[in-house]
């Protein structure tokens, strides 16, 4: 069978466009719970975020075989994608089932549930929206509850031990057969707490007034001074890597930006239109418009007079 994943995968750089409620599942594994959500909540768009390419492929096949129209998948780290691929207050519910607890102290950074994660979910959930974590690790459930409570956005009852579950996945069934317990933390968003700049809110205007001395320069001569330029600000770093010019009326410049550890490699395409040089983020490696990406566009406007 030929699988057409284009209907189900949200490509990098793009956000979900949905009219009704949106439910997110973080780290969906083989997609079993995602399938349950899609089946039982046909009025909702269900979006899965998963870091493993293999799991994304398996879940995509599962959803396509079942003919679901309300499932979309995003491949990558939920800690970055929640920030950049979702609009503020766009989620009605978020679920995370049996994440790896990363118990060793030196692995703490790999843990998904953290105070930063609680703040992120707080920004993406609509008022009254819920976050539900199921885990077989009691301390993880307690720590997650504490992180959500201390974010200031959530209320949460006590962690529940072996509560009635709406659906039990193969993974959970296996744990239960081994005599392990399930702990559930459920948090309800009760207040809005402002987040640091996420690249979604308050787009800054891009400067377009460049150094007037460059007006007579060829495209390559305009762009060359940008190469090797490194912009370092709180929260992001941007490096301009290479210039590929074709004749003197079109060019691509490759850029790397890293926003709080979220690395993106992309190209900015520059073309001549009448007497203006127009820049556009190229569709190859199409990036999310993070603060770093927007800074790269501003630098190109300032240094080379490119308009975006």
Ligand X SMILES: C[S@@+](CC[C@H](N)C(=O)[O-])C[C@H]1O[C@@H](n2cnc3c(N)ncnc32)[C@H](O)[C@@H]1O
Minimal distance, residue 139 CB to ligand X, in Å: 16
DSSP states along 173-221: HHHHHTT---EEEEEEE----PPSP-SSSSPPPPP----GGGTTS-HHH
- Contacting ligand X within 244-263 (CB under 6 A): none
> Of 86-94, 98-106, 119-127, 178-186, which segment contacts ligand X by CB under 6 A?
98-106
List, in sequence order, every residue forming a beta bridge with 242; answer none if it has no partner. 254
Q: Which of 47, 55, 91, 255 binds ligand X (CB under 6 A)?
A: 55
DSSP state of 9: B
State how far the Cα of 112 lies from the Cα of 143, in Å rounded to an integer. Answer: 12
Helix (H) or strand (E) holding 25: strand 22-26
Give the integer Cα–Cα distance in Å for 72 and 38: 10
Q: Indicate the residue among 122 and 305 with the shorter CB distance to ligand X.
A: 122
**Cβ atoms within 10 Å, residue 280:** 14
Q: What is residue 5's DSSP assignment?
A: G
Closest to ligand X by CB, 83 or 145: 83
Q: Is 49 in the site for ligand X (CB under 6 A)?
A: yes
String of contacts with ligand X for each residue 190-209, x by CB under 6 A: --------------------
- List, as own/partner pairs, every contact residues 222-230 make where C-beta atoms lie below 8 angstroms and the sequence separation is at least 24, other chains included: 222/277, 222/304, 222/305, 222/306, 223/251, 223/253, 223/270, 223/300, 223/304, 225/303, 225/304, 226/253, 226/299, 226/300, 226/303, 226/304, 227/253, 229/299, 229/303
Q: Of the candidates 84, 81, 93, 159, which has an alpha carbon nearest to the alpha carbon of residue 127?
A: 93
- Closest distance of CB 297 from ligand X, Å: 28
Binding span for ligand X by CB under 6 A among 75-83, 216-224, 288-296, 300-308: 75-83
Binding residues among 153-182 for ligand X as defined by CB under 6 A: 169, 171
35 contacts ligand X (rule: CB under 6 A): no
Examine residue 27 and tell whether it contacts ligand X (CB under 6 A).
Answer: yes
Nearer to ligand X (CB atom), residue 22 or residue 270? 22
Most distant CA atoms of the chain, gap in Å: 76
From 105, 114, 190, 126, select the one nearest 152 (Cα to Cα).
190
Exactly one of 51, 137, 168, 237 binds ligand X (CB under 6 A); that residue is: 51
Instruction: For residue 101, state whether it binds ligand X (rule: CB under 6 A).
Output: no
Does position 78 bind ligand X by CB under 6 A? yes
Question: For ligand X, which stretch binds (CB under 6 A), given 73-81, 188-196, 217-225, 262-270?
Answer: 73-81
Binding mask 118-137 for ligand X (x = CB under 6 A): --------------------
Q: Judge contact between 214 and 222, C-beta under 8 A.
A: yes
Which residue, 120 or 251, is less far from ligand X as judged by CB? 120
Rounded to a whole number of angstroms, the minimum distance from the CB of residue 102 to ligand X is 9
Nearer to ligand X, 51 or 256 (CB): 51
Find the shortest distance in angstroms from Cβ 300 to ligand X: 32
Coil vs helix vs strand at 18: coil
In the complex, least distance from residue 3 CB atom to ligand X, rounded to whole angstroms = 20
Positions in the binding site for ligand X (CB under 6 A) = 26-29, 49-52, 55, 77-79, 97-100, 112, 169, 171
């Amino acid at each position: 069978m030929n699988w057409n994943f284009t209907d189900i995968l949200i490509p990098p750089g793009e956000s979900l466009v949905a009219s009704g409620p949106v439910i997110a599942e973080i780290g969906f594994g083989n997609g079993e719970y995602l399938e349950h959500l899609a089946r039982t909540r046909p009025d909702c768009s269900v979006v899965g975020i998963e870091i493993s390419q293999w799991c994304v492929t398996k879940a995509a096949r599962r959803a396509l075989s079942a003919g679901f129209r309300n499932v979309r998948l995003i491949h990558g780290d939920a800690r970055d994608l929640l920030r950049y691929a979702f609009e503020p207050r766009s989620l009605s519910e978020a679920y995370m089932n049996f994440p790896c607890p990363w118990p060793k102290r030196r692995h703490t950074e790999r843990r998904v549930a953290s105070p930063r994660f609680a703040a992120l979910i707080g920004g993406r959930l609509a008022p009254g929206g819920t976050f539900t974590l199921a885990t077989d690790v009691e301390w993880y459930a307690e720590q997650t509850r504490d992180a959500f409570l201390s974010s200031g956005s959530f209320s949460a009852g006590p962690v529940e031990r072996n509560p009635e579950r709406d659906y039990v996945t193969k993974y959970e069934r296996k744990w239960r057969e081994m005599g392990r317990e399930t702990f559930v933390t459920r948090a309800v968003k009760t207040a809005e707490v402002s987040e640091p700049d996420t690249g979604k809110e308050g787009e800054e205007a891009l400067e377009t007034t460049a150094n007037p001395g460059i007006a007579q320069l060829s495209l390559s001569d305009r762009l060359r001074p940008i190469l090797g330029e490194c912009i370092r600000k709180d929260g992001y770093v941007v490096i301009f890597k290479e210039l590929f010019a074709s004749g003197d009326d079109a060019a691509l410049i490759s850029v790397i930006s890293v926003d709080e550890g979220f690395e993106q490699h992309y190209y900015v395409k520059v073309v001549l239109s009448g007497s203006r040089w127009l820049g556009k983020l190229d569709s190859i490696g199409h990036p999310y418009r993070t603060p770093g990406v927007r800074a790269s566009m501003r630098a190109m406007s300032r240094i080379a007079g490119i308009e975006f």
